[in-house]
Amino acid sequence: MLKGKKILIGITGSIAAYKTVLLVRELAKSGAEVQVICTKSALDFITPLTLSTLSQNPVYSDFLIDSKSGEWTNHVRLGKWADLFVIAPLSANTLSKLVHGLCDNLLLATFLSADCPIMVAPAMDLDMYHHWTTQQNLSNLRKNGVKVIDVGDGELASGLVGKGRMAEPEDIYKAIGEYFDVQSKLSGRKILITAGPTYEKIDPVRFIGNYSSGKMGYSIAQEAFERGCSVTLISGPTALPRPGEGIDFISVESAEEMLSAVDSHYHVADVVIMSAAVADYRPKHVFQDKQKKESKGLNAIELEETTDILKSLGKQKNHQFLVGFALETNDELANGRRKLENKNLDMLVMNSLNDKGAGFGTDTNKVTFIFPEGNIEHSLKDKRAVAKDIFDAIENRI
Ligand code: CTP
């Protein structure tokens, strides 16, 4: 899987740098083309000679290679050359610089010029790792599509014990392998995702809505982005931060607005995942002015059905792989299968309000995938892990 892949390794100043030597060796042994950039502090821990011998390429650490001849390292070329840029170890200092767009060394300049996916393996002492600034910086990287390989738990260089060790070279190697593995299947596919609730207006200050937080749909969008897909996320109102730049984001309010946004993207989509909790009904009449108590205008609101977006997609389906969601409270599997068939779906993700930790607002979900050929039940997982399961299942079928 790694043969011929162009992997750029960035090394920053941390004792874990010695482990990256093993990573470079393994990548080169697997047939990957490896180039290495070190920060000045990284060179306090390892030598360029070791890395150039193992990678069979020069090791870069300076903008200027030879001041007499004016030979310089082209960071743009390095960033464009790579299929994947892995920064391991990533120190707290470089982490902070990456997030703030600083550019005072070759590694940072290459990060800013790179248009390939980026992976980082942080390494630092446990208090530094748990510090809120570090946590915010890591979450900022994640939000912007950088894959963060979790730190390990154990003995640290300081003698303290806890979280902060760089992931082991074999785990980083595995993450790289997995990245190229899924890339080859879904890379470049167009994925259309809906998320969140819809709000159906009653008057200028009131609406009918539901408890959907949008977390599931946003996690699905992030997962699709990390798998190299071209992602469009159509979202109803949520309190979540807007996804990073690589995701095409369309904000809507009502079921009708969601329908029209979905319609205009449907024909080019390869996979459509309707995780939004679309309102089934909306007020038949929307008051232009705020309704006063005395007017009794809100005593009875007449409702009309919204268009079932998913059902209409199922009717028009040609090449698309269509995924629906269902939240049930009883007869879950039978109801789920009925929806799969009625809406002409390829897959239905069913969650039950009877399962603790599943459904609206939580960070976790417990789902069963319903396919025409059978069901697959999953355990309780965080929503990002559920998103991974969804894509693994889709990949196996398209
Ligand atoms: N959905 C939709 N448009 C609607 C309502 C629902 O596209 N107006 C989609 C949701 O995004 C979800 C799926 O349909 O993927 C399931 O919605 P649900 O409301 O559970 O299905 P219904 O067929 O409306 O059944 P129920 O009677 O249980 O509400």
CA distance 242 to 214: 11
**Lowest-confidence region among 189-198, 260-269, 315-324, 356-365:** 356-365
CA distance 102 to 112: 9
Q: Using DSSP, state whether 84 is helix, strand or coil.
A: strand
Report the alpha-carbon angle 85-271-188, nearest 5: 30
**Lowest-confidence region among 77-81, 248-252, 276-280:** 77-81
Quick one: the chain helix, strand, coil %, rounded to 5?
Answer: 35, 25, 35
Residue 358 has pLDDT above 80, yes or no: no
State pTM to two decimals: 0.69
Which pLDDT band holds residue 184 (cuts at 50, 70, 90)?
low
318 is catalytic: no
Q: Considering the chain, what is the average pLDDT of its residues?
A: 93
**Residue range 202-215, pLDDT digits in tens:** 999 999 999 999 99
Beta strands in 52-142 (DSSP E): 59-60, 64-66, 71-72, 84-90, 118-122
**Residue range 255-287, pLDDT digits in tens:** 999 999 999 999 999 999 999 999 999 999 999
CA distance 201 to 204: 7
Percentage of the chain exceeding pLDDT 90: 76
Residues 276-309 as b/e (b if ≥16 CB within 10 A, e otherwise) read bbbbeebbeeebeeebeeeeebeeebeeeebebb
| CA-based nearest residue to 318, from 354, 248, 268 | 268
Tokens coding 388: 């991974």
| Identity of the amino acid at 9 | I
- Name the active-site residue from 57, 74, 140, 210: 210
Atom of ligand 1 nearest to the CA of 312: 7
**Residue range 23-41, pLDDT digits in tens:** 999 999 999 999 999 999 9
Q: Map out the domains of the chain with their CATH numbers.
A: 6-184 (3.40.50.1950), 187-395 (3.40.50.10300)
Q: Does ligand 1 come within 6 angstroms of the Cβ of 255?
A: yes
Cα-flanking dihedrals φ and ψ of residue 110, to 5°?
Answer: -70, -40
Q: Does ligand 1 come within 6 angstroms of the Cβ of 278?
A: yes
Atom of ligand 1 nearest to the CA of 325: 15
